[in-house]
Amino acid sequence: MEDLKELFEAIVDGNAGKSKALTAKALTEGVDPQEILNKYMIPAMDEVGRRFETNEYFVPELLIAARAMKGSLELIKPRLVASGAKPIGKVAIGTVKGDLHDIGKNLVAAMLEGGGFEIIDLGVDVTPDKFVKAVKEKGASIIALSALLTTTMPSMKTTIEGLKEAGVRNQVKVIIGGAPVTQKYADEIGADGYSDNASSAVALARKLSVGDN
Amino acid sequence: MKALLIELLSAGAVLTDGSWGVHMQSLGLQPGESPDVWNLTHPDLVAKVAGAYVEAGSRVILTNTFGASRIMLARHGYGDQATAINRAGARISKEAAGDRARVFASIGPSGAMLMMGDVTEQDLSNAFIEQAQALAEGGADGIVIETMSDLEETKLAVAAARATGLPVVASMTFDSGKNKDRTMMGVTPEQAAVELTEAGADVIGANCGQGIESYVTICSRLHAATTLPIWIKPNAGLPEMVDGQAVYHTTPEAFASYAPTLSASGASFIGGCCGSNPEFIRRLKDALRVAGNQDS
């Protein structure tokens, strides 16, 4: 167990090599993968989020930690799947129609993946129709919309309308973000949540996923 | 200091320009459309925006080339026209400026992240070299690297711009962290000022991201950390969506009222970013004149 405290620290420090080695070792020693995930890995990402909130960490540290988390998750996932555990949720993410700026979207996707979500990355300039398909055909439980430009923000509204028209709005939670986006705008267009950074987007997605399973 | 900068600064605080985007939208630019491509397709309309700032009294105007690196243009399918688009952008602003203003050509972020592995250092560097060269060939008097958040990317752009021999402004966006005094990548004003001075920039700046009221502290901090002149271009507040349109709440009068304070905090170049327009520049000019920061 001392080793696993080190796993927590390796992820917080973003030491991908070490976190992967410690995870592999714990698995060969027969530690329950669910326990590794819930007691060490997820708390590590929570700690990363806390450090981000308190300005100890910024985007580069978030990314490095998410990369370490991803490496360990890749080892653990097959065991979890074999034991019948489901991922916490499936997120279809993309920049909305007209918007080609994907840095924010990529950051959120990396953090959500580190947070244990399955990611369906729809890329940039994504039409409402493609989001609808991700719900209908791939079973996305969360739609994450990104926009950098004020001129493309209205596409968030049309995407939500598209989900309604296709009759899938109630099957999915919609979260939005991007430099000009605000909570007020999220409320106006009927999104289920808004986050102003990639770290709290994970907490938001988790909150919205509770009760779905 | 480069001769052009000495000449510009000898007449007091230098008025730069404001936002181009909203004006271009009013001329027909569609949501999501590449503004930079207009340098080839609608040069007359781009010239209108440049001309409006010259008329308003800008002593330095920028160019419609913010998103014209090969990497950003490729997203719109115009990557292979980077050189033509940048040359045309510089030429349009030069013609609009005549002998009334100088043209500092804009280089914005690539939109790709080095540390995510979206792009290699070599590709990024090549793209900035290509853009800077084309801007110089188009007649630019200086180069402004702006709205940057990653120090490594900014340094690659500074190196590319320096190779032209023109004066180089390196300006980052401080809008993150608890106190909104870091770039998205966590860079402080002090780090930016010190490292970009070392990288060989001629002017250090901050632009976009926040309203002008937040810029007094950022400007002071940049000024305290470098001996180079400071370039400041704040937003007209933060946008709010009203009926699908972005509305910026800071009035030209309120914006201009900060100009003397900014100047006293070390800003040598002052203009506006998102949400500002020629009226902001006219008001800034009056405010600086009243405060005795400008000759004319």
CB-CB under 8 Å, A150 with B32: no
> How far are the Cα atoms of B21, B99, B131 from residue B46, in angstroms, in the given order?
10, 18, 18
Chain B CB contacts of A152 below 8 Å: 31-32
> What average pLDDT score do residues B64-93 get?
98
Cβ atoms B194, B240 nearer than 8 A: no
B204 within domain boundaries: yes
CATH 1.10.1240.10 fits A2-82, yes or no: yes
- For B:111-150, CB contacts with A below 8 A are 111-113, 115-116, 118
Flag whether B90 is in a domain.
yes
**End-to-end Cα, chain B, rounded Å:** 23
Q: Rg of chain A over CA atoms, in angstroms? A: 17
- Angstrom distances, CA of residue A203 to CA of A43, A111, A117, B62, B173: 12, 10, 11, 41, 26
Question: Do A103 and B113 count as a contact with CB atoms less than 8 A apart?
Answer: yes
Q: Which chain A residues have a beta carbon less than 8 Å from that of B192? A: none
Residues B281 and B273: beta-carbon distance below 8 Å: no
ipTM: 0.88
> What distances in angstroms separate CA B123 from CA A107, B127, B130, B156, one per listed residue?
21, 6, 11, 10
What is the average pLDDT across B57-79?
97
Over residues A38-57, mean pLDDT: 93
HEC string for chain B: CCHHHHHHHCCECEECCCCCHHHHHHCCCCCCCCCCCHHHHCHHHHHHHHHHHHHHCCCEECCCCCCCCHHHHHHHCCHHHHHHHHHHHHHHHHHHHCCCCEEEEEECCCCCCCCCCCCCHHHHHHHHHHHHHHHHHCCCCEEEEEEECCHHHHHHHHHHHHCCCCCEEEEECCCECCCCCECCCCCCHHHHHHHHHHCCCCEEEEEEEEEHHHHHHHHHHHHHHCCCCEEEEEECCCEEEECCEEEECCCHHHHHCCHHHHHHCCEEEECCCCCCCHHHHHHHHHHHHHCCCECC
User: Residue B242: which CATH number?
Assistant: 3.20.20.330
Identify whether B172 is part of a domain: yes
Question: Shortest CB distance from B32 goes to which of A61, A98, A157?
Answer: A98
Q: Within a domain: residue B295?
A: no
Categorize the per-residue pLDDT at A80 as very low, low, confident or very high, splitting at 50, 70 and 90: confident
Give the integer Cα–Cα distance in Å for B68 and B83.
9
Please say whether the beta carbons of B174 and B183 come within 8 A: yes
Q: What is the tens place of the pLDDT at every residue in A111-144?
A: 999 888 999 999 999 999 999 999 999 999 999 9
* Domain count along chain B: 1
> So where are chain A's domains?
2-82, 90-209
**Residues B255-291: pLDDT tens digits?**
999 999 999 999 999 999 999 999 999 999 999 988 7
Q: State the pTM of this model.
A: 0.94
Output the pLDDT for position A83: 83
Could you tell me the fold of the domain covering A90-209? Rossmann fold (3.40.50)
Identify the domain containing residue B107 by its residue range.
3-290
- Residue percentage of chain B with pLDDT more than 70: 99
Rounded Cα–Cα distance for residues A81 and A87 (Å): 8
Are A147 and A138 contacting, i.e. CB atoms less than 8 angstroms apart? no
Of A55, A61, A152, the CB nearest to B31: A152
